[in-house]
């Protein structure tokens, strides 16, 4: 189920909230790009990452979304949003990849971290998650 389909099916209160959360998710994802001309993982300042702060801000929403009892449609709502952002972000070095597959891989990696954070009851702070993401990105780039 795409964002568009969900918004059409949702009620006005739910649709408004979802739209607000997805807007904040997009803004949070884009925050590191506001500080550099080109984003490089080995130069990424963890303090500029805002996606985990977004999750922390809407923690109640994410507790529901990632509940084992909620339909996968909500996961796809988030996946579509993150995937769309990543598709806009793919640079020249990844042109040889299938762009959709590459962005899907990355979107699931980010959502996987958020799900695991949820499963650990959000024990780490958003700042700690930022540090971990940068560590993971840099270890992947140097293998």
Q: Which residue has the higher pLDDT, 56 or 100?
A: 56
Q: Which residue has the higher pLDDT, 93 or 128?
A: 128
Task: Tell me the HSE value of 104 on the side-chain side, using a 13 A CA sphere.
Answer: 6
Domain coverage including residue 105: 3-141
Q: Where are the alpha helices (DSSP H) in the chain?
A: 3-9, 12-30, 51-57, 59-65, 73-89, 99-119, 126-141
53-81: average pLDDT? 93
**pLDDT value for 7:** 41
Number of domains comprising the chain? 1
Q: Which residue has the higher pLDDT, 97 or 109?
A: 109
């Amino acid at each position: 189920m795409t964002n568009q389909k969900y918004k059409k099916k949702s009620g006005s209160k739910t649709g408004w909230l979802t739209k607000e959360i997805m807007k904040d998710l997009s803004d949070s994802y884009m925050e590191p790009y506001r500080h550099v001309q080109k984003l490089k993982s080995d130069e990424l300042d963890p303090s500029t990452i805002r996606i985990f702060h977004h999750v922390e801000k809407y923690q109640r929403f994410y507790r529901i979304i990632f509940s084992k009892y909620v339909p996968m449609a909500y996961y796809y709502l988030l996946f579509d949003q993150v995937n769309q952002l990543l598709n806009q972000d793919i640079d020249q070095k990844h042109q040889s990849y299938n762009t959709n597959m590459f962005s899907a891989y990355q979107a699931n990696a980010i959502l996987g971290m958020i799900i695991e954070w949820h499963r650990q009851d959000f024990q780490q702070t958003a700042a700690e998650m930022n540090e971990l993401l940068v560590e993971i990105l840099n270890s992947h780039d140097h293998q």
